Structure 1
Amino acid sequence: MTDARTWLSRIAALPTSDKVRIMNVCGGHERTVSQSGLRSALPDHIEIIPGPGCPVCVCPEEDIYQAIQLAVHDGVILVAFGDMLRVPVNVAKGEIRSLTEARAAGADVRPIASPLEARRIANDNPTREVVFFAAGFETTMAPVAAMLLEGIPNNLTLLLSGRLTWPAVAMLLDTEQAGFDGLIAPGHVATVMGPEEWAFVHEQHGIPVAVAGFSTDSLVTATYSVLRQHLEHRPFLDNCYAGVVRPGGNPVAREQMAQAFDIVAANWRGIGEIADSGYALRPDYAQHDARRRFADHADSERRRIGEMPPGCDCARVVLGKLYPNQCRLYGSACTPRHPIGPCMVSDEGACRIWLSSGVEYAA
């Protein structure tokens, strides 16, 4: 098996010095790229751009606000994946701005690592209403669907905020001139959904694309593939994670998701609505929809706009329009301990990854 060092040598030997911008879609990819020092190991004319691969970063502000209000005012047990507890919303000074602050104020907010923990908590507390604030991409939504199909107690409802990854890339390519020359597609999503979801990148837009895993070796292999495709003007879909990613993905997981969810237009924080990019509970599971069981605490302006905090450039970072350290708040007002924007909260957020990797503010 060829290692990263060999692939880097092959990249350096490619007969081109033209600037090439390659976007990675996955927050896990960005973490490997940054922590391995891959950017500094590549020739200067090759740029690796962080893309829309952090579900915490794009979760609509109105959904987070709704979760906070349910926890504070409706007396529910609110459970969510750990990163979601620290994402701030835009509220007046002195108001509760995150689920962590809601817990500090006495709300029953609990971090979980698996959907099965939400079901266990509901079973252990049969006289309490339990709301599972379920945010994430396809790999998170697959076990949520499996849990629903297996059956959940009547006192468990879902505040669903799931998103699909490919529509954000499609939106970038469809609505404006592409800001990248090649794409590294997320291997974990392709494991569930199949690599074929990313064929539109080369078929419709003539842009090279390669599916990669999380190791440095896999990422450098995918980078080489994209560069070769670009150099030879021969774009195609290359599966550089073939040991895990199979054609068609995981048919059982895909079927369970199709039974549990409808695909709907959905809002992405700071970006706006993207067609066919969100998951919603199918009518068979309406009784477990928290938005139906509880009063809607999200006002119409929040639902329509979903803004980032003032001065925060997270939306531009997510769309690959700005590097994290070019945000004016990066590393000063906005830090992992005191995040202002969502990209500084999650381990998959580009701003947090860059700051944790020692990248300083670019004046």
Structure 2
Amino acid sequence: MSLSARQWLDRIRALPVPEGGVRVMNVCGGHERTITQSGLRHALPEGIELIAGPGCPVCVCPEEDIHHALHLALEQGVILAAFGDLLRVPVNVVKGEPRSLLEARAWGAEVRAVAAPQEVSALAQAHPGRQVVFLAAGFETTTAPIAAWLAAGGLPDNLTVLLAARRTWPAVAWLLHGGPPGFDALIAPGHVAAVMGAEEWRFVAEQHGLPVAVAGFTAEGILAALHAVLLQRTEGRARLENLYPEVVRPQGNPIARRLLDDGLLTEDAPWRGIGVIPRSGFALPPSWAEFDARRRFPALAAPRRRAGAMPPGCACAEVVLGRTRPQGCPLYGTACTPKTPVGPCMVSDEGACHIAWAGGVRRAA
């Protein structure tokens, strides 16, 4: 019999909180949304801190790739397709130029929001005389359907892909190898684990001695995972626990994993405002060279100010890494709001700043 959120909270409150507190990071925008909307932070005992980590693929999409897409849409006359959140992400350009794909559309560029890669194929087929470029960002859950779409073949000749997809676990490994971790336990992402498997997160416990649990997306599911990692801390042992077994298998989805492993390459890749994280990016293999937008439309080599960085004053990269909270950014709630976003964390539905604002947090700390 499953427990209610209140029952899980009672179990958590019955556990001793370590002196100095305990910091538990989640790496999924869906988890962060549930935590905020359910008010879990306010319901937990004092000393238990829930930290939002690198769970927003739009937030870390390379600034250079979005700028490249802007150039293609404005100067090359291509039809630019992207998932909806990417259209509003601002980049660093000279004042007076369009800062986002949405602003580029207002300048006359043809920019389309899509929900699935199949829509891009239909778009290219409907415009055989135009070049269509698909700016594709996302983590493993989004990238697996893209890999399946590529594997199915039959893509129109006038379609290319500007792939900006990222892998989740290398970012956590990078955080753990970069000095003392900023967290004491990890709640692993349920959707990514459904694709890649719970076992992908075992390294957190075995190599770094930190408790880790895979969680679902209800308040009850997150509290169950939180109780599991807190109990591990109390018992002084670290292990991997799968608290989402109805969806997540130890080895994940074999078909999706095969599509990613066989259809795409992995490479060192930049994360916006953070830098290059080893083996964290997906790339098109040579067999897909004719559909690679980077080959058909090489990026501009001209230097730009703050290329690859967050906008001036924006702490989005620190928020993504769990080193500060949204309210810790000096722009939060003043210059940066959902109506006037400065950084990508306030744009995406999976961005911690956007989620905090939607949860009623209106001021910087």
TM-score normalised by the chain length of structure 2: 0.97
Specify the code of the residue in structure 1 equivalent to 2:43.
A
User: Is 2:147 the counterpart of 1:161?
Assistant: no
Corresponding position of 2:175:
172
**How much does 1:298 deviate?**
5.5
**Secondary structure class of the residue paired with 2:280:** strand
Kindly indicate whether residue 40 of structure 2 is the aligned counterpart of residue 48 of structure 1.
no
What is aligned with 1:215? 218
Amino acid at match of 1:21: R
Residues 101 and 111 of structure 2 are in contact (CA less than 8 Å); yes or no, is this contact kept in structure 1? yes
Render the CA deviation track for 1:287-332: whole Å, top value 9, x for unaligned: 1000100131264667x96111110000110111001011100011
**Separation in 2, partners of 1:209, 1:313:** 27
Q: Match of 1:269?
A: 272
Q: 1:349 aligns with which of 342, 348, 351?
A: 351
Percent identity of paired positions between Structure 1 and Structure 2: 62
Q: 2:327 aligns to what? A: 325
Tell me what 2:236 maps to. Answer: 233
Corresponding residue for 1:279?
Answer: 282
Cα displacement (A) at 1:255: 0.8
Structure 2 CA distance for aligned equivalents of residues 305 and 178 of structure 1? 28
Check the 8 A contact 1:260/1:285 in 2, yes or no: no
Match of 2:14 in 1: 13
Can you give the 5+ residue segments of structure 2 that lack an aligned partner in the other structure?
none
**Over the residues paired in the alignment, what is the CA RMSD in angstroms?**
1.2
- One-letter identity of the residue aligned with 2:10: S
Partners of 1:48 and 1:196 in 2: CA distance: 23
How many Å separate the matches in 2 of 1:356 and 1:173? Answer: 30
Give the match for residue 203 of structure 2: 200
3-state DSSP class of the match of 1:197? helix
Moved over 3 A (4+): 298-302
Q: Distance in 2 between matches of 1:42 and 1:258?
A: 40
1:243 counterpart SS class = coil
Deviations along 1:36-75, whole A, 9 cap, x unmatched?
0000010011000000000011011101100111111111
Structure-1-length-normalised TM-score: 0.98
Cα distance between partner residues in 1 of 2:48 and 2:85: 32
Within 5 Å, give how 1:300-319 maps onto structure 2. 306-319=308-321
Matched residue, 2:130: 128
Match of 1:191 among 175, 194, 206: 194
SS at match of 1:199: helix
Count residues with an aligned counterpart.
362
Query: How far does residue 128 in structure 1 lie from its aligned partner after superposition?
Result: 1.3
Call closer, same or farther: CA 1:4–1:44 in 2, change over 3 Å.
Answer: same
CA distance in 2, matches of 1:327, 1:337: 17
SS of corresponding position for 2:173: helix
AA aligned to 1:11 is: I
